[in-house]
Amino acid sequence: MLHQQHFILHKPYGYLSQFVNNQNRRKNKKLLGELYNFPENTMAIGRLDEDSEGLLLLTTDGKVSEQVRSKKVEKEYYVQVDGIITEQAVEALKGGVEIAIRGKKYTTLPCKASRLNPAPVFEARPKKVRDERHGPTSWISITIIEGKFRQVRKMTAAIGFPTLRLIRMRIGDIKIHKFEAGKVIEVSEFTSF
């Protein structure tokens, strides 16, 4: 029987969640293989876009990938937004908001959302988010069970608070803890979702 391998990664800002750059227009992009010597056939389970950071699970086992991407598994994000988010906006997120997916209207499933006060502290990212001269920012936690393309960013934009920084903190019971950006650990299995 083939031995499957599993990895937990803190994806740094500026990396694509892939191993091969199959988009000619995006030359010189940083890929996951630059962070660690992953075995052949390793795949990212769910993606984080280039500007997003945080927890990324990788595996050589397609069945595990399907399980994690199911609607049974929560994904929690800490999101820095432009402006001081209101309770009304947080409530709107919880109930589901209308976003566009491939040009079609889509209403997100109800989710968990709350303001993070005090704001979490993370190491500065290589490209500065922006400075205080451009107005205040605030942080929220959003926990979803689906994963549409750029969904969290579209959700915060839909309520009038565009995302400035997005960090995935948790997938199921697996948390990023105090992993520094770029750190990879191999695990024998992803313990419980």
Is residue 82 part of the annotated active site? The answer reads no
> E strands of the chain, at which residues?
6-11, 15-16, 30-31, 43-45, 53-59, 75-82, 98-101, 104-107, 112-115, 137-144, 163-171, 174-175, 184-187
Return d(Cα 32, Cα 135) in angstroms, integer.
34
**For residue 131, which phi and psi values (nearest 5 degrees)?**
-115, 175
CB 41 within 8 A of CB 4: no
> Given 49, 61, 131, 173, which residue is catalytic?
49
What are the catalytic residues? 49
